[in-house]
Structure 1
């Protein structure tokens, strides 16, 4: 009789054989390493369930304990480290076992990108947990035990199916980051205001029509993201958020600029709302505001009084503004002014294409008694090129400015002065540069805005493709005829200006940049555009294809869901007729949609 089987062929070793199959899923070497390091990474392994050996990692003796061998200092299994970091992201998990309680030392648990529909109550046993990542799952609710995790500092729940949160949310007193974006939340509990250490709150893309008044008690809050909701107003208590630096309110239903905290706010994003009027009193108290985005509203006039003098970026694209107050030219730090898609009168179109500095200079010239432009006053450190390093701009505005020098290179002294600082903007326009300065890579981690317009660039090198935080890129008036495929790395890029170059086709890589809102490609030689691929750019609201060689305008352009400003004048196509183009973007888009065949 063969050993290991009973009288009826029963396999008496089946339990052992089951255990021996586990290392095929979780290699023995990984488990052994985890006992020494306290970290186990099982991401992207196609797991449908967590092997029992993972839960019992610090409970059961390892295989080597059963073997009669001697151990060196690194193999002493009895001196193992408790598991503190468990990474299970990008698998096929649908549930977790209550045996999760056998890992009480966990400080990080990463479960994002799975198929979880529920969580075990044993989650409450992980009282050492600091980071819990649950994004991109199918959670409709979370267990109340989660809210007993007193040390939890980061909780990410974006891309789930949550419709409500319980009042127990306010018990997470150590929380500094809470991401609830892309769920189905219609309201938030008032206990949200009890999260006194919260620094970043993301509520983007939910169904919120209001925020609780208690939000004003979030005294540590620095970033509040509420874009893509149904907000018609904010509670007045928001003005008490003394630490708030960034406020995102894009794509809501606001009709007025809400009450805002003046002492700390640096960036305000109000694009795609229903604001029709700007009142100077609403903005004059914002003493640190550097970026103001009001694109895609219904603003028809700007206040005669100057906007906050600290503004460096002002986006007024796609509004109903017909005139600009000359006082706008007195903003000493303004380097980016976007006005595309407005029915401006009294300002020549060619002046609008010359860039912000020329436009501001023109506005200053319309002031009868020009008080003088303080920004012209030389200051700072002299360079061998007789230019100046504006130390104030570098240290305070986080701006590297070396524009209008007609130089063939940017001096190293400028970059040396910025060493160790978080530079956010660069303006090297109106020079003779043939390529982007390689030292841009030294500020790549913080750079959001680059202006290389009016140079002699023939290609975009690796320097620009490596600026992963870049949101705005101005390359107008150069010698470019193509963009490199590596530019797809710029996943945050929201606007690109390519007017007056030598493009003969719409750059392929632009179809891949899903965050794009503005593409200006006027005055090139573009002969066609791929409308179905453009439809994938769901945020694209401004597209300038004027003065190109388009012989055909595809009707599918009318299906670009966010497109509000489409410039087509100056092309040799026959339809739509010039009379329709002259009526503006709405008329053109409506005409294009009417030309789509119906089946």
Structure 2
């Protein structure tokens, strides 16, 4: 009540007036003063309301650009205008409005924070140098989340400097057309409201990077949606959308797109123009097919198609970077080699709750697969080749009518099951030593060559044998076949097998990790089609200059070796996209050379001996992942590293001497 009494003497120039008995301002003046200095105002969870029940409307209207004012002694207040709202003129309506108003409104001085003279200035208060109101900072961040707003005032146009506007978790049924005046807006969060449409004016926000509209009641989107050309993140999940505008083709900077939990029956082929898209979520829609044009989205890393009506798995000939594919709870009956042969980077394949009856032997093409979920299908037997997946950590098989594997074996866990499957590989193989009988002491994996893997999968596999040399019989078994993948990892090799040069016309993926190599022989340098080289966990201290002949090399893994300097030859391989050099002893890098590598997106230098990070590294804008943790440098601090690559690069760039 004391606050109410103080409110009765408000100055008429303060932008709004109060009569005795009215509630005090819902926003403390201290917050307003702080916002004038910081440019940020957080009014989340303050029980604010602004809508048709606000018939007293002194603190900002929802439909017009001005602020309604009360004349001295006049208790008849014109109702505010609100899109889709009716004025409350009856006594009962006014009573309801007063009840709502007691919970607090969005005061007009919030919208007019950069226009009106502060209330303190009218009281002739002295201002220190830091408090001079005429030097106030424009409001750039406004948070009105978790209130009871039914609509936003058109006065939002009075905050043109806003870069962040967060009004999620309210009761909004519309967005004011004045939103189009916020030409600097970069992030708009209107999620968890009751929006039924999006105004055309929103499409004028050419600087908008993040638009969150999930959990609303949207039925359609404006045709001009493609004008939001700066968008990097768009969340439209949990709405009622049945179609997507073809103008989505212009959202070429989009990195994350969430369309989950809608009513989409198809995806427009135009979204294939999103060349930078990394994550696409179409979970729980009505999709029956996926457009073939989707295959051209070469940057896609995560694809969610769960809970749809797909009857077959689409073929993805260009998805070489795809790491996660989720297609559970569909009606897929067949999984073929054509579906798998282009998914070499896949780490997670989720196929639960479908109608699969079998798996192809070509499942071993997915050499990087870490998780395979086949729960609740109709699979009666497993291919023994499944045991040759070296990275598989989780194999979920519950709810399948498996007949060839005992239940107690299934209960022993993934690794025991894979070991069992490897022991059963007998068909279409030939003995390493045809003249020597296989005894009870001979492990099947040591005594046989997997001819099927060579002929059908184009994989030459001889790993985990603890062998000091690769037997000639292994190379002899290749014959005239074209082998694309070589896996000699987890042995005790002191040198690279010389006969590997025989595979130079076809091999593109070589794994020599976990051996005892102290140098790289020139035989490896002539594999001119090589795109992926894994030589981690060896004793390497340098790389030969001849490696610059590997003009197609995209990924190289040098982790856990003994490098003390960054291998100079890597600077001269312009095709490199990923360099993994963690857990070595590297003391410095050349940022000018790194910047010239315009395709390099991932650089892992964790746990090395970097005493400083050159600021010029901040100019390497192509880096999407830069890992520096575990080095002895003092700056950037750990708090900055934790914010991610973009924050680290921005920090480094700010420290470049001018």
Kept in 1: contact 2:199–2:222 (CA 8 A):
no
**Alignment partners' CA distance in 2, 1:16 and 1:239:** 61
Q: Provide closer, same or farther for how the CA distance between residues 18 and 250 of structure 1 changes in structure 2, counting only shifts above 3 A.
A: farther
Written as runs of structure 1 = structure 2, the 5 A alignment for 1:410-425 is: none
**Alignment partners' CA distance in 1, 2:226 and 2:233:** 13
> Is 1:32 equivalent to 2:121 in the alignment?
no
> Is 1:279 equivalent to 2:336 in the alignment?
yes
Q: How far did 1:74 drift?
A: 1.7
Residue number in structure 2 paired with 1:303: 360
Residue number in structure 2 paired with 1:344: 402
> Is 1:56 equivalent to 2:112 in the alignment?
yes
Q: How far did 1:373 drift?
A: 5.5
Residue number in structure 2 paired with 1:317: 375
Q: How far did 1:309 drift?
A: 1.6
Cα deviation, 1:87-138, whole Å, max 9, x if unaligned, reads 0000000011111110000000001000000111100000000000000000
**Alignment partners' CA distance in 2, 1:76 and 1:27:** 19
**Alignment partners' CA distance in 2, 1:245 and 1:165:** 26
Residue number in structure 1 paired with 2:182: 126
**Alignment partners' CA distance in 1, 2:241 and 2:605:** 35
Residue number in structure 1 paired with 2:529: none
Residue number in structure 2 paired with 1:290: 347
Residue number in structure 1 paired with 2:284: 228
**Alignment partners' CA distance in 2, 1:20 and 1:243:** 62
> Is 1:248 equivalent to 2:304 in the alignment?
yes
**Alignment partners' CA distance in 2, 1:53 and 1:11:** 17
Cα deviation, 1:292-328, whole Å, max 9, x if unaligned, reads 0001000001112334222111111110000101111
> Where in structure 1 are there 5+ consecutive unaligned residues?
1-9, 383-388, 401-414, 424-599
Residue number in structure 2 paired with 1:335: 393
Cα deviation, 1:190-245, whole Å, max 9, x if unaligned, reads 11111010010000000000000101111111000000000000111100001100
> Is 1:367 equivalent to 2:456 in the alignment?
no
Cα deviation, 1:10-37, whole Å, max 9, x if unaligned, reads 9998964359968630000000000000
> Where in structure 2 are there 5+ consecutive unaligned residues?
1-7, 51-105, 430-447, 450-460, 466-489, 492-512, 517-534, 539-554, 561-581, 585-602, 607-658
Residue number in structure 1 paired with 2:192: 136
Written as runs of structure 1 = structure 2, the 5 A alignment for 1:579-594 is: none
Kept in 1: contact 2:583–2:605 (CA 8 A):
no
SS state at 2:295 partner:
helix
Residue number in structure 2 paired with 1:211: 267
Q: Provide closer, same or farther for how the CA distance between residues 375 and 94 of structure 1 changes in structure 2, counting only shifts above 3 A.
A: farther
Kept in 1: contact 2:10–2:18 (CA 8 A):
no
Q: Provide closer, same or farther for how the CA distance between residues 340 and 375 of structure 1 changes in structure 2, counting only shifts above 3 A.
A: farther
Q: Provide closer, same or farther for how the CA distance between residues 128 and 391 of structure 1 changes in structure 2, counting only shifts above 3 A.
A: farther
Cα deviation, 1:40-70, whole Å, max 9, x if unaligned, reads 0000000002211100000000012113233
Residue number in structure 2 paired with 1:547: none
Cα deviation, 1:373-418, whole Å, max 9, x if unaligned, reads 6246255599xxxxxx9759xx999x99xxxxxxxxxxxxxx989x
**Alignment partners' CA distance in 2, 1:315 and 1:109:** 40
**Alignment partners' CA distance in 1, 2:378 and 2:385:** 19
Q: Considering only aligned residues, what root-mean-square deviation do their CA atoms show, in Å?
A: 3.2
**Alignment partners' CA distance in 2, 1:88 and 1:231:** 36
Q: Provide closer, same or farther for how the CA distance between residues 223 and 126 of structure 1 changes in structure 2, counting only shifts above 3 A.
A: same
Kept in 1: contact 2:315–2:338 (CA 8 A):
no
Q: Provide closer, same or farther for how the CA distance between residues 28 and 232 of structure 1 changes in structure 2, counting only shifts above 3 A.
A: same
Q: How far did 1:259 drift?
A: 2.5
Kept in 1: contact 2:214–2:239 (CA 8 A):
yes
Kept in 2: contact 1:295–1:317 (CA 8 A):
yes
Kept in 1: contact 2:300–2:319 (CA 8 A):
no
1:65 to 121, 133, 137: 121
Kept in 1: contact 2:299–2:319 (CA 8 A):
no
Number of residue pairs matched by the alignment? 393
Residue number in structure 1 paired with 2:326: 269
Residue number in structure 2 paired with 1:182: 238
Kept in 2: contact 1:238–1:259 (CA 8 A):
no
**Alignment partners' CA distance in 1, 2:19 and 2:338:** 72
Residue number in structure 2 paired with 1:88: 144
Q: Which moved more, 1:363-372 or 1:296-305?
A: 363-372
Q: Provide closer, same or farther for how the CA distance between residues 391 and 250 of structure 1 changes in structure 2, counting only shifts above 3 A.
A: farther
Residue number in structure 2 paired with 1:597: none
**Alignment partners' CA distance in 2, 1:203 and 1:375:** 44
Kept in 2: contact 1:22–1:51 (CA 8 A):
no
**Alignment partners' CA distance in 2, 1:343 and 1:331:** 23
Kept in 1: contact 2:281–2:305 (CA 8 A):
yes
Q: Provide closer, same or farther for how the CA distance between residues 19 and 252 of structure 1 changes in structure 2, counting only shifts above 3 A.
A: farther
